[in-house]
């Protein structure tokens, strides 16, 4: 059970209702995270604004989902793991790519460099080394793309923390824990 009330569009104030209806129109449904965020119009508007800004950047939708999977795994957010696994699958990521992303790995070295950076960014709370930035640059990322990786990480951290706090009911297909080899 959610720690926050889940607000349906018809229960929301007019501005929040408009945002919820726009989300529902875009996604074809209204996931529980948005219903929980609707308790604070400022929170919902902040998420929508940052999400739209990140989507308008230069990172591919697939890489953004892979980043979200890496961050969500590190932060232990089952809601976001389920959501981003489902969206990643819709965007053409294979089961192996989804699992690899959760472990901050990719068969593609350019993607792998981004995911390793993002994992370090989360683990080190933003205090990444110059060597990590250099590795990203050597993989072909410019400063703008590196900035977008940081922003995508921050966006996912926001949703992770929000859903963990709210204990948002998972309304996507659940994902299994990663198997850990001894």
Residues 71 and 138 placed together within one structural domain of the fold:
yes
Are 156 and 120 members of one domain? yes
> Cα separations (Å) of 9 from 30, 79, 89, 164?
9, 21, 28, 23
Let me know whether 31 and 70 are in one domain.
Answer: no
In sequence order, which ranges of the chain are alpha helices (DSSP H)? 14-27, 32-37, 41-55, 61-75, 78-90, 95-102, 109-123, 130-138, 143-166
Let me know whether 82 and 138 are in one domain.
Answer: yes
Residue 49 CB contacts under 8 Å (≥ 6 apart), including other chains: none
105: phi then psi, degrees, rounded to nearest 5: -130, 155
Both 81 and 142 in one domain: the answer is yes
Structure-token pair, residue 101 = 């992303």
Residue 19 shares a structural domain with residue 74: no
Assess if residue 2 is contained within a domain: no
The token duo for 117 is 């950076």
| 83 and 146 belong to one structural domain | yes
Q: Is residue 178 part of a domain?
A: no
Answer whether 0.85 is exceeded by the pTM. Answer: yes
For residue 34, the domain's CATH number is 1.20.5
- The answer as to whether 115 is a domain residue is yes
Considering its fold, how many domains does the chain have in total?
A: 2
Q: With respect to residue 157, please indicate whether it lies within any of the assigned structural domains.
A: yes
Q: Is 22 part of a structural domain of the chain? A: yes
Two tokens at 52? 């739209």
Q: What is the domain range of residue 105? A: 61-166
Give the model confidence (pLDDT) of 18-72 as tens digits: 999 999 999 999 999 999 999 999 999 999 999 999 999 999 999 999 999 999 9
- Domain-embedded: residue 179: no
- Model pLDDT for residues 67-123, shown as the tens digit of each residue: 999 999 999 999 999 999 999 999 999 999 999 999 999 999 999 999 999 999 999
- Domain match, 51 and 65 both: no
Same domain, 32 and 106: no
End-to-end CA distance of the chain: 34
Residues 108 and 158 placed together within one structural domain of the fold: yes
With bands split at pLDDT 50, 70 and 90, how would you rate the model's confidence at 182?
very low
Tokens of 111: 């993607």
């Amino acid at each position: 059970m959610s720690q926050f009330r889940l607000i349906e569009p018809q229960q929301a104030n007019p501005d929040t209702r408009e945002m919820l209806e726009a989300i529902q129109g875009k996604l074809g449904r209204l996931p529980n995270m948005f219903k929980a965020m609707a308790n604070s119009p400022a929170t919902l508007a902040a998420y929508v604004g940052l999400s739209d800004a990140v989507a308008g950047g230069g990172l591919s939708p697939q890489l953004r989902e892979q980043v979200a999977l890496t961050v969500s795994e590190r932060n232990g957010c089952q809601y976001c793991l389920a959501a981003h696994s489902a969206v990643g699958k819709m965007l053409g990521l294979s089961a192996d790519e989804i699992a690899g992303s959760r472990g901050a790995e990719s068969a593609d070295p350019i993607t792998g460099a981004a995911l390793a950076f993002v994992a370090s960014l989360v683990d080190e709370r933003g205090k990444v080394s110059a060597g990590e930035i250099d590795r990203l640059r050597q993989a072909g990322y410019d400063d703008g793309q590196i900035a977008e990786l940081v922003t995508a990480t921050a966006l996912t951290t926001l949703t992770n923390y929000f859903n963990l706090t709210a204990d948002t009911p998972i309304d996507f297909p659940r994902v299994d824990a990663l198997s850990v080899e001894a």
